[in-house]
C-alpha cells in the first residue's frame, strides 16, 4: 500500500491509498474554493447525560446530485470534484460539511472505489483489504489528535438509510468523548467481570453464539452471527475470534481473511429478499475501544473491549421498512418482527453456491 497526503483548495486534507507503490499523485485541486467554515458544537443533555452535535452548516450539504455531478467521482476535464486526480483506488478526505470539527472532533469521507456504480460488495478481495488498511491507518492517525477519544468507521448504504450521495463510500467520525453506545457496553463488561470473578463479557457472548444456532458464517479467524437479542430485522455481528480492542491490533492472519468473510456477508445481505429486489439498504459500523481513560468503568481496561462490526438493514421484508416509532424512538425499547434464529437461517440459505 502507498499512502499520499495532499491538500484540497480550501485546506482540507486528502489522502490517496494505492495498491501500487509506484503510483504518483500530484494533481492539484483546481476549484476556486474558500476556506471551509463550520459551526459544530457539542452540547450535553443534562437528563440523559449524552452528547448532541449541533451543526447548522450541514443544511447546505450536497443533496442527491446527478451522476455526472457526483463529488466523489474522480475529476475529469472541466468536471472538478472532491478528488483532484483522474483515478484512484481508495481515497479519504476531510468532510466539507462535518458534524464534528476542531475541538469537537473530526469527520472524514472514505471512497471505496472510483466506480460510481459499484458497491462495497462488488469489490474484489484486494480492494477490500485496501479499505481495511485505510480504516486502520485513519484510526491510528485520528487517535493521536488531542480532541479525539473514540474513532468510528462506518458505511451508510441506500436512500432509505438517508444517504445523499450514491457513490460507494463510508465515513469516519472521531469523537471527543466515549459514545453512549460504547459506554453501555463498557458498563455491562465491568458488571459481568465483577459478577463472574474476571470473565470477559465479549468472550462469553462469542463463545455462546459459536455453540448455538445463530451463526451465519465462520472462518478460521472470524465469526458472524445474529445476536440473541437482535434489535433489527436482519442484524449480524462480525467478530475476530482472537479478541482485540481495535483495528490496529488485528494480526496479519485476521487481516488476510477479513475481505473474503466480509464480502460474502455483504453479498448475502443483497440476496435476503430474493431476486429482483433493489439493493438492501444497510449500516455497517465498526465498534472500537475508546482511546481515552476508562476510570469511570470500574475495573475495565481497553484490552477488555472486543473489536466487532455490526451490520444491519432497516428493511424487514420485501418492500417494507422497519420504522423507529414510539417505543423505539421514545423509550429506546426495540421491537423486532423477525426472530433472530429465523434471520440467521435465512442468511445461511442465501450463501453463495
pLDDT tens digits, residue range 79-93? 999 999 999 999 999
167 is catalytic: no
pLDDT of 100 over the 90 cut:
yes
pLDDT band at 39 (very low <50, low <70, confident <90, very high): confident
pTM of the model: 0.96
What is residue 276's predicted lDDT score, i.e. its pLDDT? 80
pLDDT of 58 over the 90 cut:
no
How many residues make up the chain in this entry?
A: 353
The span from the CA of 338 to the CA of 233, in Å, is 5
User: Is the distance from CB of 74 to CB of 86 less than 8 angstroms?
Assistant: yes
Helix (H) or strand (E) holding 345: helix 340-349
User: How is residue 31 written as a grid cell?
Assistant: 476549484
pLDDT band at 353 (very low <50, low <70, confident <90, very high): low
Q: Give backbone dihedrals phi and psi of 172, rounded to 5 degrees, phi first.
A: -130, 125
Helix %, strand %, coil % of the chain (to 5): 30, 25, 50
User: Is the distance from CB of 70 to CB of 83 less than 8 angstroms?
Assistant: no
Dihedral sign of CA atoms 46, 51, 52, 53 in order? positive
Q: Which residue has the higher pLDDT, 256 or 64?
A: 256
pLDDT band at 292 (very low <50, low <70, confident <90, very high): confident
- The number of angstroms, rounded, from the C-alpha of 147 to the middle of its chain's C-alpha atoms is 20
Catalytic residue among 169, 192, 237, 308: 169
Report CA-CA distances (Å) from 265 to 35, 237, 281.
Answer: 41, 10, 14
Amino acid at each position: 500500500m502507498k499512502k499520499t497526503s495532499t491538500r484540497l483548495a480550501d485546506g482540507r486534507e486528502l489522502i490517496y491509498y494505492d495498491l501500487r507503490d509506484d503510483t504518483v499523485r500530484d494533481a492539484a485541486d483546481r476549484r476556486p474554493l474558500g476556506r471551509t467554515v463550520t459551526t459544530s458544537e457539542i452540547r450535553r443533555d443534562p437528563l440523559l447525560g449524552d452528547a448532541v452535535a449541533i451543526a447548522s452548516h450541514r443544511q447546505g450539504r450536497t443533496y442527491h446530485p446527478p451522476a455526472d455531478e457526483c463529488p466523489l467521482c474522480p475529476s475529469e476535464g472541466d468536471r472538478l470534484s472532491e478528488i483532484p486526480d483522474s483515478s484512484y483506488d481508495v481515497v479519504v478526505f476531510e468532510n466539507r460539511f462535518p458534524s464534528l470539527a476542531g475541538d469537537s472532533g473530526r469527520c472524514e469521507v472514505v471512497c471505496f472505489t472510483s466506480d460510481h456504480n459499484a458497491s462495497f460488495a462488488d469489490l474484489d478481495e484486494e480492494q477490500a483489504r485496501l479499505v481495511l488498511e485505510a480504516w486502520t491507518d485513519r484510526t491510528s492517525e485520528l487517535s493521536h489528535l488531542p480532541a479525539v477519544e473514540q474513532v468510528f468507521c462506518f458505511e451508510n448504504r441506500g436512500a432509505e438509510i438517508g444517504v445523499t450521495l450514491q457513490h460507494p463510500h463510508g465515513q469516519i467520525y472521531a469523537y471527543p468523548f466515549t459514545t453512549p453506545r460504547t459506554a453501555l457496553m463498557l458498563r455491562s463488561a465491568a458488571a459481568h467481570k465483577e459478577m463472574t470473578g474476571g470473565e470477559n463479557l465479549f468472550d462469553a457472548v462469542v463463545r455462546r453464539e459459536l455453540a448455538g444456532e445463530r451463526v451465519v458464517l465462520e472462518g478460521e479467524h472470524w465469526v458472524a452471527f445474529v445476536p440473541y437479542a437482535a434489535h433489527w430485522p436482519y442484524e449480524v455481528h462480525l467478530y475476530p475470534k482472537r479478541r482485540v480492542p481495535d483495528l490496529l491490533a488485528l494480526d496479519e492472519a485476521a487481516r488476510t481473511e477479513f475481505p473474503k468473510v466480509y464480502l460474502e456477508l455483504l453479498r448475502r445481505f443483497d440476496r435476503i429478499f430474493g431476486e429482483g429486489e433493489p439493493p438492501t439498504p444497510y449500516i455497517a459500523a465498526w465498534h472500537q475501544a475508546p482511546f481515552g481513560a476508562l476510570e469511570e468503568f470500574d475495573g475495565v481496561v481497553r484490552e477488555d473491549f472486543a473489536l466487532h462490526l455490526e451490520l444491519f438493514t432497516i428493511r424487514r421484508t420485501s418492500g417494507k421498512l422497519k420504522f423507529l416509532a414510539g417505543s423505539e424512538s421514545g423509550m429506546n425499547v426495540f421491537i423486532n418482527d423477525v426472530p433472530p434464529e429465523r434471520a440467521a437461517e435465512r442468511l445461511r440459505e442465501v450463501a453463495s453456491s
